Amino acid sequence: MTAPPPAPSSGPSTPRRRGRPPRAGRTAADVPAARDRILDAARETFAAHGYDKASVRAIARRAEVDPALVHHYFGTKEQVFEAAVAKAAAPVLAGPSVLAEGDPREIGERMTRLFFSVWENPASREPLLAIIRSVVTHQTAARIFRQFITKNLVSRVAQRLPAPDIETRIELAVAQLVGVAMLRYVLRAEPLASAEAEDLIRRLSPVVQFHLAGGPPPLPPEH
Amino acid sequence: MTAPPPAPSSGPSTPRRRGRPPRAGRTAADVPAARDRILDAARETFAAHGYDKASVRAIARRAEVDPALVHHYFGTKEQVFEAAVAKAAAPVLAGPSVLAEGDPREIGERMTRLFFSVWENPASREPLLAIIRSVVTHQTAARIFRQFITKNLVSRVAQRLPAPDIETRIELAVAQLVGVAMLRYVLRAEPLASAEAEDLIRRLSPVVQFHLAGGPPPLPPEH
DNA sequence: GGAAAAATTCATCATGTGTTGAATATTGCT
DNA sequence: AGCAATATTCAACACATGATGAATTTTTCC
C-alpha cells in the first residue's frame, strides 16, 4: 500500500537480469558455479555468526545470488547447514587415522597435533567454528558434534587403549582441547589467542596423554 | 483481517486487567514484584536458549507479564541481558578469594573445586550457561566473559604465583575447565554428563595444578 | 479530595525471517 | 526448429521480533 516501486536501474541495488545467465564461453571454472558459491558463503556465514544469526538472505547476498536460489538448491535452511558443514568437514572427518597408529605412549601428542593442524588451517577451521557457534543453541549442530566426537575419536582411540573408563578419559582430553578452541578461536582471549601453536602443543600434549593413558598424576611444582 | 477478537475470559489467553494492580494487603514479598519476576525469567530464558533465541516476548510470557513491561523497566533487550546476568552472577563473581589463600601446591584443587561448586549449583549455573550460550554469537556476552576471567581468575592467581608466562598458564587451566563445562553442561555428552563431580575433581585437579604451577610433565603410562 | 507518579496492558509499527510460486532467460536434446 | 530441463530472479506470504506511545488503573503525596 505504501510501498513505492523502486525506480529500476537507478538505485544502489542493481536489479539483476532475470532467467538463466548465458554461459559466454567460460570453461566452467572461471566463476565458480552458483551452487558452490552458495555452499562457500554458507560455510563462512555460519562460521561467523552461528546458525541462528546466519540468515538465508545474508548467505545469498554473500554468494551474490537471490535467496530463492539457495532454497532451490538445498531446500530448507537446516539442509543448507548440513550440506555446508558436511562438504567442508568431510576431509577433516576422514583424516585422523593417525590416532590409531603408532606408539600409544605418544598418542597424546599425536592427538594434540591433529587438533592444531585442523584448527590452524582456516579452511578446516571454519566448519568447526560454524559447528561450535551453532552447537550451543541448536540441537542439530549439537548432534553433529557429538557424532564427530564419538565416531572419530572415541571409537578410534578406545580400540587402541582399552580401559574401563576410557570414554571418560577421552572426553576429558577432548574437553581440554575444546576449551582451548573456545578461548583461542572463539573468544580470542589473550595471550592464548596469539601464542605459538608449537608452544601450546608442548604444553598440552602431556596433559592429553595423561588423560588418555593415565599414569601417575603430574607432580606438584618443585616449590 | 483474519484475527478473531478473543472472547474475554474464555480463550486460553486470558486478557489481563489493565492498569496498575491493587496491592490487596500483600506484604510486598507475597508474590515477588513483577520487576524481579522479569529478571528471573530473563535469566532462565537466556540460560536455556542463548541471547538470540531468547525473545523479549518469551521472557515476558514466562514472567506472566506484558512484553512492554520488560522494556518499561529495562529499556533494550541488551540491557535486560546485562541486568539479568549481573544480578545472578554477582555472588559468584564476588566469591573466589579462595584462590588467593592457602598452599600454592593445592591451588589446582581449590580452583577445580571452585569450578564445580559453581557449576553443580543450578542457581549459579544458570547465569553461566546464559553467558556461554550467548558468548559464541554475541559480542557483549563475550566481553562479559573475558572480564570475568581476567578480573576473577587471572589477577587473583597471578599475584599468588608469579611467573613470566602465568597468563598463558591460567588460560590453559581455564580452558580445561571451560571444555568440561561445554561437554558436561552444554552438550551433555555421556559419560561426562553423568559422572560424579568428586571423580572429576580427582581427575582434573592435577591437570589444573600442572598448568598453573608447572613442574615436570605427567609421566607416560607404565605400559 | 485532587494531582502526580507508578504499574501495567493494548495496539501498533517497522523490520527481518524462512519459504513458496510464478516468471523469465538460457542450454541441451531430439 | 522445437521442447524439456535448468538456472536464475521477482514478488509476495505469513509470521516473529524489538520497540514505542497511548490508555487505564492504582498508589502515594500534598
Question: CA A20, C1' C30: Å apart?
Answer: 22
Show residues of chain A in contact with B105, CB under 8 Å.
Answer: 220-221, 223
pLDDT for residue A179 is more than 80: yes
- Per-domain residue ranges of chain A: 32-88, 95-215
- For A113, how many CA atoms within 13 A lie in the half-sphere containing its CB? 10
Q: Which of A176-180, B11-15, B218-222 has the highest mean predicted lDDT (pLDDT)? A: A176-180
Same fold, A32-88 and A95-215: no
pLDDT for residue A54 is more than 50: yes
User: Would you state the pLDDT for residue A4?
Assistant: 37
Q: Residue B31: in which H helix or E strand, if any?
A: none
Give chain B's end-to-end CA distance (angstroms, integer): 76
User: Would you state the pLDDT for residue B2?
Assistant: 34
CB count within 10 Å of CB A161 equals 16
DSSP state of A96: -
B16 interface with A at CB cutoff 8 Å? no
Question: CA B83, C1' C3: Å apart?
Answer: 33
User: Would you state the pLDDT for residue A19?
Assistant: 65
Q: Which of A80-89, B90-99, B192-201, B207-216 has the highest mean predicted lDDT (pLDDT)? A: B192-201
What fold does the segment set A32-88 form as a domain? Arc Repressor Mutant, subunit A (1.10.10)
Question: Which CA-bearing residue is nearest the C1' of C5?
Answer: B20
Distance set, CA B79 to CA A52, B61, B122 (Å): 21, 18, 23
Q: How far apart are CA B39 and CA B86, in angstroms?
A: 10
B135/A137 Cβ within 8 A: no
B49 interface with A at CB cutoff 8 Å? yes
Cβ burial A77-109 (10 Å sphere, 16+ → b, else e): beebbbbbbeebbeebeeebeebeeeebeebbb
pLDDT for residue A106 is more than 60: yes
CB count within 10 Å of CB B216 equals 12
How does residue B44 score in pLDDT terms, banded at 50, 70 and 90?
Answer: very high
Instruction: Find the residue in B nearest to A214 (Cα).
Output: B221
Q: How far apart are CA B135 and CA B118, in angstroms?
A: 18
DSSP state of B77: H
How does residue A218 score in pLDDT terms, banded at 50, 70 and 90?
Answer: very low
In one letter, which amino acid is A33?
A: A
How does residue B25 score in pLDDT terms, banded at 50, 70 and 90?
Answer: low
Between B4 and B140, where is the model more confident?
Answer: B140
How does residue A7 score in pLDDT terms, banded at 50, 70 and 90?
Answer: very low
Question: Which CA-bearing residue is nearest the C1' of C24?
Answer: A19
Q: Where are the alpha helices (DSSP H) in B22-165?
A: 34-53, 56-63, 67-74, 77-94, 107-119, 122-135, 139-149, 155-158
Size of interface A-B (CB pairs under 8 A): 165
Name the class of domain B95-213: mainly alpha
Share of chain B above pLDDT 90, in %: 37
Level-2 CATH architecture, domain B34-82:
Orthogonal Bundle (1.10)
Q: Which of A2-11, A152-161, A194-203 has the highest mean predicted lDDT (pLDDT)? A: A194-203
Tell me the mean pLDDT in the region A16-34: 64
DSSP labels, A2-52: --PPPPTTTSSSPPPPPSPPP-TT--SSSSPPHHHHHHHHHHHHHHHHHHH
Q: How far apart are CA A204 and CA A109, in angstroms?
A: 8
pLDDT digits (tens, 9 = 90+) for B136-181: 877 777 777 787 777 777 777 777 777 888 889 999 999 999 999 9
Checking B151-157 for CB contacts under 8 A at 24+ apart, the result is B151/B93, B152/B93, B152/B96, B153/B96, B153/B99, B153/B111, B156/B96, B156/B97, B156/B99, B156/B100, B157/B99, B157/B100, B157/B107, B157/B111, B157/B212
B105 interface with A at CB cutoff 8 Å? yes
Mutate to test the interface with B, among A139, A219, A223 (most CBs of B within 10 A): A219
Tell me the mean pLDDT in the region A135-146: 75
Interface of B with A in 63-102 (CB under 8 A): none
Of A37-41, B25-29, B182-186, the poorest mean pLDDT is in B25-29
Cβ burial B105-140 (10 Å sphere, 16+ → b, else e): eebbbbbbbbbbbbbeeeebbbbbbbbbbbbbbbee
pLDDT for residue B1 is more than 60: no
Mutate to test the interface with B, among A178, A196, A198, A211 (most CBs of B within 10 A): A178
Location of C-alpha cell 568447526: A128
CB count within 10 Å of CB B213 equals 25
Level-2 CATH architecture, domain A95-215:
Orthogonal Bundle (1.10)
Between A34 and B75, where is the model more confident?
Answer: B75
CB count within 10 Å of CB B26 equals 10
B195 interface with A at CB cutoff 8 Å? yes
Distance set, CA A132 to CA A52, A121, A216 (Å): 12, 16, 33
Secondary structure class of B16 (helix, strand, coil): coil
Tell me the mean pLDDT in the region B122-129: 85
User: Would you state the pLDDT for residue B134?
Assistant: 80
Task: Confirm whether any atom of chain D, the nucleic acid strand, is less than 7 Å from CB of B4.
Answer: no
B178/A183 Cβ within 8 A: yes
pLDDT for residue A169 is more than 80: yes
Which bases in strand C are touched by protein, i.e. have an atom under 7 Å from a CB? 5-11, 16-28
Between B172 and A131, where is the model more confident?
Answer: B172
How does residue B124 score in pLDDT terms, banded at 50, 70 and 90?
Answer: confident
Show residues of chain B in contact with A132, CB under 8 Å.
Answer: 136
Tell me the mean pLDDT in the region B94-121: 83
Residue pair B177/B115 in contact (Cβ under 8 Å)? The answer is: yes
Between B123 and A217, where is the model more confident?
Answer: B123
On average, the pLDDT of chain A sits at 80
Residue B43: CB partners within 8 Å, gap ≥ 6? B84, B85, B87, B88, B126, B127, B130
Between A118 and B180, where is the model more confident?
Answer: B180
User: Would you state the pLDDT for residue A107?
Assistant: 86
A174 interface with B at CB cutoff 8 Å? yes
Residues with CB under 7 A from strand C: A 17-24, 54-58, 67-68, 71, 75-78; B 15-21, 33-35, 64-69, 72
Q: Where are the alpha helices (DSSP H) in A95-138?
A: 107-119, 122-135
- Which nucleotide lies nearest residue A17, CA to C1'? D9
pLDDT for residue A56 is more than 90: yes
Show residues of chain B in contact with A192, CB under 8 Å.
Answer: 168, 171-172, 175
Tell me the mean pLDDT in the region B50-73: 94
DSSP labels, B44-66: HHHHHHHHHHS-HHHHHHHHTS-
On average, the pLDDT of chain B sits at 80
A215/B216 Cβ within 8 A: no
- Which nucleotide lies nearest residue B57, CA to C1'? D17
User: Would you state the pLDDT for residue B129?
Assistant: 85
Is the peptide bond between A191 and the residue preceding it cis, with omega within 30 degrees of 0? Answer: yes
Tell me the mean pLDDT in the region A98-127: 85
Share of chain A above pLDDT 70, in %: 79
User: Would you state the pLDDT for residue A12?
Assistant: 45
Tell me the mean pLDDT in the region A189-193: 89
A223/B218 Cβ within 8 A: no
B32 interface with A at CB cutoff 8 Å? no
Residue B172: CB partners within 8 Å, gap ≥ 6? A180, A192, A200, A203, A204, B211
